[in-house]
């Protein structure tokens, strides 16, 4: 293109002209391959700094092909002049082309480090290279820093070049160690993500940048296919609103869907999040080498040192040749009359040449130059110009010789050139660097956070069901079909937890397991779920007896455990954060005892224990000292006869109410202050008047006016009602009917929905 005169300041020429000349003079490859190379060098989404200035259709990031070469026009980009500068000053070696009809350079005398600037990708026999593009300003500054300090470390270079800079932008994720490894060893894998955000007003997902070498239209097609296959749920529409102003892909979520979860699924399942394997392999001195950033910079520095040296040698030779001529002119001008006389008296030019050489003691070249000197140069002013030019050349030759004799002078010139180039081509980074190491998206990022009703049957089946499946009813309703009775199995326990919470399971023998709620099987209201033995590594003789849902184990809290026989134990929560597959010991139990309830506490709360026969005791938590995991605990309540504990609550607010529910569907709310504070280990007070009509107590837990309550019957009926519909009455009362039951049906479980759930609804 330079030979064709296609500089950036000149007019465009047809691409076909360039391709034809290359094919005829330099590379006898197919015109398709040659044109594809021209097209790629003109695409601003393929090269960080395009080397060809194209006019016409050169393809798109959607994968659209360029127009035929007869339609498009090209010329050199401005930055290409820096790659070709000084090529005609003997700075690089030339070799014959394929047929010996022309010469071509082995390398180009590039002033810019194009290998790292625009990157490279290729596969050869047994090896491959994949060099990412970089930012010009950062790259040039790193070379300058290495010239000034050859012993510079990789860490110091990383402060200047934090990572690659891709033409399509995006965000590079990963710790500095990953990028450092790639720049030090020549190999590494970085994670690259497109840029996307959730628009506040519309709740839509907006994608403004995609990873390098990702096809935009194929990305959109992939998202659409995943929606059809129901691998990504909650998307109502996908639109490509990209224009000349930039990229804009709009994804509209369905109503009430979390756009952040959808976006995380897109990152996880599509090329919007991808990896770039860095392989810094290049040919150095005709041998392929895997090099680090510092090595590549050093190769460029040595290359530029050689080019600058050869450029000055070329200039020095030219100056010396010219000075030689001017010295001849001076010799002639010093004896001007004698010189003119010799030329006039000579028979022919050869005789004149011999005379001048002999008389003036000059060379053949000088003699020829004198003979070719025009007469006008003999005027006084022209003679003065010759002497001035000679003096300037003498001065310049001394300067060049000084530069060539001192490596530091060449380094200074190299630095000055790079600084000038930074002013001309330096720009801001397009790719952002995020030090967070993604390490893959966590499962929670792909799951919408919502409350789930977790149900466990008498026979040990578990499931989770969205709370929205339980519609609210008035007090006294017949209920909605819930966990269907099958093989005399029925729902025995129910609690509510977020999909992102941990569920810590405590067995009847005092062992502890945990799982995330989203790991539990999701089933419909009428399904039994899945056997717990398939989810937890439970021995055959063990059953789950207590549960607690947690956000994390790092909080400064305690677990309060209560057993069937009234034993209570207090242990730091963090002691249960590292369970094994076969469980860990939560509490040591006597052979005839079972774990009934587990609650979290702050360390300064109150505890209320309720029994099957209607007794309850309330005491301060500080009456129970904290012990280790393997301890047994202390007495919380004294029991009479065949009575046993059915629930244990940690009271954090003295204004709260206790909802007590019986087997026959009766219940009542009682203010917790009605239960007087006593010492631990007492017999307690009456919490509900037990009669044949009410049946024995099933559960007792804290509620307020905003709490929703779910009741499950032995035949699988579920009823959901507001706690505010249940009367607030005294302790020693029977309560009111909450759920209609027949003679062969009883309430087996009761639970409340969290306050957060009420707010979100």
- Name the strands in the sheet holding 584-585, side by side, starting at the edge strand that comes first in the sequence: 544-550, 502-507, 511-516, 584-585
User: What single-letter DSSP state applies at residue 489?
Assistant: B
Cα torsion at 221, 225, 228, 229 (round to 10°)? -170
For residue 447, give the nearest of 521, 550, 518 by alpha carbon.
518
Q: What angle do CA 709, 713, 718 make, to 5 degrees?
A: 50
The span from the CA of 556 to the CA of 236, in Å, is 43
| CA dihedral for 125, 166, 276, 189, sign (positive or negative) | positive
Greatest extent of the chain over all pairs of C-alpha atoms, in Å: 152
Cα dist from 553 to 371, 445, 631, whole Å: 100, 19, 20
Number of Cβ within 10 Å of residue 173's Cβ equals 19
- 166: three-class secondary structure by DSSP: coil
Backbone phi, psi, residue 558, to 5°: -125, 160
**Contacts made by residues 624-629, CB under 8 angstroms, sequence distance 24+:** 624/560, 624/568, 624/569, 624/570, 624/680, 625/570, 626/558, 626/570, 626/571, 626/572, 627/569, 627/570, 627/571, 628/571, 628/575, 629/571, 629/575, 629/576, 629/584, 629/585, 629/586, 629/587
What positions carry a catalytic annotation?
71
Measured CA distances, 480 to 148, 708, 711 (Å): 79, 15, 10
Distance, in Å, from the CA atom of 276 to the CA atom of 212, rounded to the nearest integer, reads 9
CA dist., res. 473 & res. 719, Å (int): 7
Q: Is the dihedral of CA 687, 691, 694, 698 positive or negative?
A: positive
Which distant-in-sequence residues (6+ apart) come within 8 Å of 337 by Cβ?
none
* Per-residue tokens: 758: 């009420």
Q: Please say whether the dihedral angle defined by the alpha carbons of residues 218, 223, 227 and 231, taken in this order, is positive or negative.
A: positive
């Amino acid at each position: 293109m330079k030979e064709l005169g296609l500089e950036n300041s000149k007019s465009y020429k047809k691409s076909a002209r360039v391709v034809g000349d290359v094919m005829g003079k330099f590379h006898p490859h197919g015109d398709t391959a040659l044109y594809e190379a021209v097209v790629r060098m003109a695409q601003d989404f393929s090269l960080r700094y395009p080397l060809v200035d194209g006019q016409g259709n050169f393809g798109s990031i959607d994968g659209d092909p360029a127009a035929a070469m007869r339609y498009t026009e090209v010329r050199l980009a401005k930055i290409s002049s820096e790659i070709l500068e000084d090529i005609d000053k003997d700075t690089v070696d030339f070799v014959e082309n394929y047929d010996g009809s022309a010469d071509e350079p082995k390398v180009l005398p590039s002033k810019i480090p194009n290998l790292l600037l625009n990157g490279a990708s290729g596969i050869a026999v047994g090896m491959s290279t994949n060099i990412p593009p970089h930012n010009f300003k950062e790259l040039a500054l790193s070379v300058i820093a290495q010239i000034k300090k050859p012993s510079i470390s990789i860490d110091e270079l990383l402060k200047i070049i934090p990572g690659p800079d891709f033409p399509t932008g995006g965000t590079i994720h990963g710790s500095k160690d990953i990028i450092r490894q790639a720049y030090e060893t020549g190999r590494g894998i970085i994670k690259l993500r497109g840029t996307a955000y959730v628009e506040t007003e519309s709740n839509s997902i907006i994608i403004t940048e995609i990873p390098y070498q990702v096809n935009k239209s194929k990305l959109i097609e992939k998202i659409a296919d995943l929606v059809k296959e129901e691998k990504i749920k909650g998307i109502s529409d996908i639109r490509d609103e990209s224009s000349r102003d930039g990229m804009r892909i709009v994804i509209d979520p369905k109503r009430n869907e979390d756009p952040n979860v959808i976006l995380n699924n897109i990152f996880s399942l599509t090329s919007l999040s991808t990896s770039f394997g860095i392989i810094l392999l290049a040919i150095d001195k005709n041998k392929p080498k895997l090099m680090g950033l510092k090595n590549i910079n050093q190769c460029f520095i040595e290359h530029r040192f050689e080019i600058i040296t050869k450029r000055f040698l070329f200039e020095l030779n030219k100056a010396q040749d010219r000075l030689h001529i001017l010295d001849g002119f001076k010799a002639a001008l010093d004896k001007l009359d004698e010189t003119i006389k010799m030329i006039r008296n000579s028979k022919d030019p050869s005789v004149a040449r011999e005379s001048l050489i002999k008389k003036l003691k000059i060379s053949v070249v000088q003699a020829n130059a004198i003979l070719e000197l025009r007469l006008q140069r003999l005027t006084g002013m022209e003679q003065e110009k010759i002497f001035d030019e000679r003096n300037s050349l003498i001065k310049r030759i001394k300067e060049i010789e000084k530069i060539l004799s001192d490596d530091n002078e060449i380094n200074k010139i190299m630095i000055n050139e790079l600084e000038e180039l930074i002013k001309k081509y330096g720009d801001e980074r397009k790719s952002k660097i995020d030090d967070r190491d993604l390490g893959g998206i966590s499962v929670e990022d792909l799951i919408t956070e919502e409350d789930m009703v977790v149900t466990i049957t008498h026979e040990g089946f578990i499931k989770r069901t969205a709370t929205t499946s339980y519609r609210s009813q008035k007090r006294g309703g017949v209920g909605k079909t819930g966990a269907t009775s099958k093989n005399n199995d029925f729902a025995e326990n129910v609690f509510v937890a977020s999909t992102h919470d941990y569920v810590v399971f405590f067995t009847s023998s005092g062992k502890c397991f945990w799982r995330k709620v989203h790991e539990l099987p999701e089933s419909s209201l009428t399904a039994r779920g899945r056997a717990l033995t398939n989810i937890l590594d439970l021995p055959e003789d063990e059953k789950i007896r207590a549960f607690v849902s947690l956000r994390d184990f790092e909080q400064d809290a305690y677990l309060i455990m209560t057993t069937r026989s009234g034993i209570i134990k207090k242990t730091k929560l963090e002691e249960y954060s590292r369970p094994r597959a076969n469980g860990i010991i939560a509490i040591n139990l006597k052979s005839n005892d079972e774990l009934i309830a587990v609650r979290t506490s702050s360390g300064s709360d109150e505890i209320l224990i309720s029994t099957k026969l209607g007794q309850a005791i309330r005491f301060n938590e500080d009456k129970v000292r904290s012990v280790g995991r393997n301890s047994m605990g202390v007495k919380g309540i004294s029991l009479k006869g065949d009575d046993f504990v059915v629930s244990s609550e940690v009271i954090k607010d003295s204004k709260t109410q206790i909802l007590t529910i019986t087997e026959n569907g009766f219940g009542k709310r009682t203010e917790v202050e009605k239960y007087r504070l006593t010492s631990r280990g007492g017999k307690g007070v009456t919490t509900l008047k037990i009669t044949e009509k009410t049946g024995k107590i099933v559960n007792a837990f804290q509620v307020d006016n905003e709490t929703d309550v779910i009741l499950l019957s032995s035949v699988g009926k579920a009823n959901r009602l507001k706690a505010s519909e249940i009367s607030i009455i005294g302790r020693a009362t029977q309560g009111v009917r909450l759920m209609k039951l027949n003679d062969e049906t009883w309430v087996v479980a009761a639970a409340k929905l969290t306050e957060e759930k009420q707010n979100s609804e």
